[in-house]
Amino acid sequence: MDELVSLTYRSRARLADPTAQIVQIMRAARVRNLRLGITGILLYNGVHFVQTIEGPRAACDELFRLISADPRHQEILAFGFERIAARRFPDWSMRIVSREELRALAPGLERLDLSGPEDVTELHRTIAARLSRGDAAANG
């Protein structure tokens, strides 16, 4: 069995029509990630994507290669690659958290620059805890 890993990256979003393209990204991701055994969360603040994918190492490597070649992403910075014993986002084939939802879930977000693993780890903890407490409709 392939080891379970988590990979986090940040990229600058290149979206001509953000609303339509994010819907398109999510639809494709949910189908592909289910097939690959990948779960995760995608944060979008209007400028950057910060995404964590988790699953079998080979599947995460394959998905990151696809993301790296996707013209909707530029200035990709990968960090936070680690082996994990359990998934942090086991119920989400891919969950997007929009700019508005980020503000509601993490009011202190403006103090985080999301440029390093510490900020992203703290943000993930906050979001996962708050969503798992009562956002059943958010699972996807």
Q: What is the pLDDT of residues 101-131, one digit of tens each?
A: 777 777 766 555 666 667 777 777 677 667 6
Tokens of 131: 């969503």
Return the pLDDT at 139. 38
- pLDDT (tens digit, 9 = 90+) per residue, 53-94? 999 999 999 999 999 999 999 999 887 788 999 988 888 887
Closest CA to 43 of 83, 92, 2, 82: 92
**CB 13 within 8 Å of CB 76:** no
Q: Name all domains of the chain by residue range, CATH numbers in brackets.
A: 4-138 (3.30.70.100)
| Widest distance between CA atoms in the chain | 41
Edge-to-edge strand ranges of the sheet holding 39-44: 73-83, 4-13, 48-56, 39-44, 95-97
Question: What confidence category does residue 137 fall into, taking pLDDT thresholds of 50, 70 and 90?
Answer: very low
Q: For position 37, what pLDDT does the model report?
A: 94
Q: Which pTM was predicted?
A: 0.77
